[in-house]
Amino acid sequence: MNKKSAIMQMFTGVRGNCYSVPCSSKYFELLEEVAKNDTEIRKELAKFPNMLALYEKTNNSIEAMYLESLENYYLEGFRFGALMGLDISSDNKTE
């Protein structure tokens, strides 16, 4: 595989998909904090089943919203990148 070929890197899964994007150490620190807090909240809310159900429903909605925004940002970034490539490769000197 030609290492410079972005198309082949995407095809083989090396880059260009959500599974190949490395997360930072800050991400994992925040993930650990969220998991710890979530465990504590759930333990307290277990005393109030209706509130626990509402909390879980809210968390599910937040996760779905986050995934939706990730897809939108990825698509917009890809589209803009393609437009930049077209702009760079064109002979037209327009603004």
pTM of the model: 0.67
Determine, yes or no, domain membership for 74: yes
pLDDT in tens, 12-33: 888 877 788 889 999 999 999 9
Domain count, the chain: 1
Instruction: Please tell me the predicted confidence (pLDDT) of residue 15.
Output: 83
Determine, yes or no, domain membership for 71: yes
Determine, yes or no, domain membership for 14: no
Instruction: Please tell me the predicted confidence (pLDDT) of residue 2.
Output: 57
DSSP string across 25-77: HHHHHHHHHHHHHHHHHHHHHTTSHHHHHHHHHHHHHHHHHHHHHHHHHHHHH
Determine, yes or no, domain membership for 48: yes
Cα–Cα distance, 25 to 43 (Å, whole number): 27
